[in-house]
Amino acid sequence: ETWPKGEEKVWKSGMRELDTGVEDITKSFVNHVQTSLARQPYNIDNLGGYQAAALSVRDNLLINWNETQLNYTRKAPKRAYYLSLEFLMGRTLDNALLNLGLKNQYSESVKKLGFNMEDLLDKERDAALGNGGLGRLAACYLDSSASQELPVWGYGLRYKYGIFQQLISPEGNQLEAPDPWLDNQNPWELPRLDVTYEIRFYGQADRLPDNSGRSQWTGGQEVLAVAYDVMIPGYGTKTTNNLRLWESKPKRGFDLNSFNAGNYEGAVAASNSADAITSVLYPNDHTFWTAASLQDILRRFKNLGKPITEFPDYVAIQLNDTHPTLAIPELMRILIDEEEVPWDVAWTIVTNTFFYTNHTVLPEALEKWPVPLVEHLLPRHLQIIYDICANSQSQQNLFFLQAVEKKFPHDLDRLARMSLIEEGTPKQIRMAHLAVIGSRKVNGVAELHSELVRTTILKDFVEFEGISKFGNITNGITPRRWLDQCNPELSALISETLKLDKAVWLKDLFKLEGLIPFAEDPAFRKKWAAIKQRNKERLAHHVQANLGLTVRTDAMFDVQIKRIHEYKRQTLNILGVIHRYFELKKMTAAERKKVNPRVVFFAGKAAPAYYIAKLTIRLIVNVARVLNADPETKDYLQVYFLPDYSVSLAEILIPASDISQHISTAGTEASGTSNMKFCLNGGLLLGTVDGANIEIAEEVGENNVFFFGHLTPAVEDLRYQHIYHPVPLEQKCPNLAAVLNHVSSGAFGEPDVYEPLLSTIRQSDYYLISDDFDSYLAALKMVDEAYLDKEEWIKKSINTTAKMGKFSSDRAINEYAESYWNLEPCRVAAGSTPKDTT
Ligand code: GL4
């Protein structure tokens, strides 16, 4: 079919430019009220106001998005694709305005129309398509890719429900309610009902008799993948990248109920992520969107008209943990069965295309899929996985196990350890092993973590493939959201002090070092401290408005916010609080007056099936209830559990913190990223020698952080001792024994309720609470002492922010682009107007 061409200048005369002036913005806003929303002007609430503003901003984004995509099509650069089961985007409007540079114009415009921008921003629901750090990292990387003008697309799943909403019952139990985030229409996505793929499940795979390694996969059922595009604007650039999310639609006769695609709780909460330990697996979703993404990527590559062997010159695919690993056998299937590429050539293409990031060494979080299930759901993929293990069709390469056998003859243990298939009933596929051998590079997310990956879970693979394949890229965070947006006053003070436009230092975060001399300037310190104080008041106001509780703002704000998990040790924190409480109770009123008042904030969700984590929440809530009501102590120690932790809540909590806690058992937290966010906002760090805490301390100096606890190499020995040479707790750590006895005796509600939690500590104590408790208390004491010298504390705060340059996600994404993907920026010329519109 030939498309109508028309006259170029007529087309051009109809094309919209960005609305950058207040008048144009107002016009566009009112037009959307009138037409898109079909509402009466003068008569619209804040929600409608938010929607009109969002639709108007979306128009602007689309203009840039179109230009960016057209530019990519024209220039045909190598592209990278970030495949992730989670994208924890949070809110979009404020970020889009910042990145477009239109914040002031929009504020002025909506003000003239009778609205307050803050109220409109507050109407947006979080897009919470993820659990925690891993999903938020993906969102930061998209922001940085666009800001660095890198041709990167994200691919994921369009869940109908975000992560559950957390409610807290009167007894202190976590209850889960669905998060129907799409109930109001979502202005940030663009349905692409014409971009669809058919994804096959079940059926049978028959090998062709020609010994080519090819198969024919027939029968079963097909489900339809429909694309929804989300615009990702870069900061201070026209580049607006794409996040493509897939929705599943039944084809006739397909039983979507039994398939459960797009069921977030099924797919993510029940997946083997470090945040959500459970062993129930639903690989359908994983397959569904990875297959759709790959077909989409391949189609785009084919438009270039290049030979298939050049695929890795034009495409890099990053696997965000093992969840999208099925992309490896899927690309093999397409190449071998559909493109008729010989096995060895296909394998060379695959292993030059994929990159795998590992995000945890916790054994329970390493994905394994039962062979019978994969055999039923994806018979052809299972064949390919077996062929990767040991393939008789290959002409050139020895396939995986044969090659291992050749390098390490007669080492059967090693073969069993390394195999893609774990023996047992049922047999299981080790997804991490598949991801490793199918990728060009493998990385961990902080120096210590990457070293642990190399020396523990992937040691055999390092010995087999050589160390150079196994690297590190320390995580990062976007300073746009995590400083400028969440802490606008601090951002303004930084710009004023550095005499730099924020557009400069937000893209070159090392510029913050220029703050160091100002730490010695009392007038600057005063301004710095005043901003922290106002952020504390903003948080207190939020707690008052939402929970009806009065938080005192003259206290030190001590914050621990993250998923609730035994390894993250919220229990250590709350037991420390209880210890502090009983110390206060022992004091005279006069002694108490000398104590540094402290408010301890907790927030975080527990996986719905994680009983011990839920008990931890219950303990925190009940400790809070007792302490906040105790007239003797409540002026010196308050505790709050803020329900329903989210990206938006983090944006209020983080700028308000004086100190934050990152206290995982050494060697368990791969990186952590909120540690970076707190420090960037001038909050000091109390933590263990773990994950990215270590690199933060390297940057800011050990005198500016509070470290405690055993180091990683000691952990295994200590666990061994717990089992084989147990020492009674009363003897080993009397402080902790006393605290546990208080809990057992009913100081915080019914005595029996907490026994299962307490016994994890009294018995095997896998996460070493008893080993680290005294050193934790000592660190808390050091924090108290340091806080007494306010001026010194503010200096530490300034110096901490000043040294956070390394932790910008711009740095991290550039490392991926340069060292792994071999990707270069692809600029859209400012003000350029595309010539053709096809
Ligand atoms: C995690 C790690 O637990 C966390 O330390 C890390 O910062 C994050 C991003 O790399 O990845 N791994 C999993 S699984 N969930 C996470 O949040």
Distance between CA atoms of residues 230 and 724, nearest Å: 55
Q: How far apart are the first and last CA of the chain?
A: 14
Distance between CA atoms of residues 41 and 59, nearest Å: 20
Q: How confident is the model at residue 296, as a pLDDT?
A: 97
The low-confidence residues of the chain, meaning pLDDT below 70, are 1, 252-284, 392-397, 830-838
Q: Which ligand 1 atom is nearest residue 359's CA?
A: 12
The Å distance, Cα 321 to ligand 1 centre, comes to 9
Catalytic pick among 563, 569, 662, 710: 563
Mutate to test the pocket of ligand 1, among 360, 473, 569 (most ligand atoms within 8 A of CB): 360
Q: Is the CB of 709 under 6 A from ligand 1?
A: no
Residues 6+ apart with CB under 8 A from 158: 189, 228, 245, 246, 247, 262
Q: Is the CB of 273 under 6 A from ligand 1?
A: yes
Q: Are 260 and 237 in contact (CB under 8 A)?
A: no
Q: Is the four-CA dihedral 476, 480, 484, 490 of positive or negative sign?
A: positive
Active-site residue flag, 562: yes
Q: Is the CB of 135 under 6 A from ligand 1?
A: no
Q: Which ligand 1 atom is nearest residue 365's CA?
A: 14
Residue 746: helix, strand or coil by DSSP?
A: coil
The Å distance, Cα 55 to ligand 1 centre, comes to 34
Q: Is the CB of 675 under 6 A from ligand 1?
A: no
Distance between CA atoms of residues 772 and 571, nearest Å: 12
Q: Are 515 and 798 in contact (CB under 8 A)?
A: yes
Q: How confident is the model at residue 397, as a pLDDT?
A: 60
Q: Is the CB of 450 under 6 A from ligand 1?
A: no
The Å distance, Cα 674 to ligand 1 centre, comes to 11
The Å distance, Cα 134 to ligand 1 centre, comes to 5
Q: Is the CB of 365 under 6 A from ligand 1?
A: yes
Catalytic pick among 92, 673, 688, 801: 673
Residue 752 is encoded by which pair of tokens?
């029996």
The Å distance, Cα 677 to ligand 1 centre, comes to 15
Active-site residue flag, 249: no
Q: Determine which residue's CA is closest to atom 12 belonging to ligand 1.
A: 359
Q: Determine which residue's CA is closest to atom 11 belonging to ligand 1.
A: 134
ipTM, two decimals: 0.98
- The closest of 564, 506, 627 to 168, measured between CA atoms, is 564
Q: Determine which residue's CA is closest to atom 7 belonging to ligand 1.
A: 672
Active-site residue flag, 357: no
Q: How confident is the model at residue 713, as a pLDDT?
A: 97
Q: Can you name the residues that pair with 382 across neighbouring β-strands?
A: none
Within 10 A of 613 (CB to CB), how many other CB atoms are there? 24
Q: Is the CB of 692 under 6 A from ligand 1?
A: no
Catalytic pick among 618, 677, 710, 803: 677
Q: Is the CB of 360 under 6 A from ligand 1?
A: yes
Q: Which ligand 1 atom is nearest residue 670's CA?
A: 5
Within 10 A of 396 (CB to CB), how many other CB atoms are there? 10
Catalytic pick among 32, 123, 568, 811: 568
Q: How confident is the model at residue 269, as a pLDDT?
A: 42
Q: Are 317 and 300 in contact (CB under 8 A)?
A: no
Active-site residue flag, 302: no
Q: Is the CB of 670 under 6 A from ligand 1?
A: yes
Q: Are 776 and 663 in contact (CB under 8 A)?
A: yes
Q: Is the CB of 358 under 6 A from ligand 1?
A: no
Active-site residue flag, 381: no
Q: How confident is the model at residue 624, as a pLDDT?
A: 98
For 506, phi then psi, to 5°, come to: -70, -15
- The pTM of this model reads 0.95
Cα dist from 2 to 5, 8, 74, 838, whole Å: 9, 16, 20, 12
Active-site residue flag, 5: no
Catalytic pick among 158, 333, 562, 803: 562
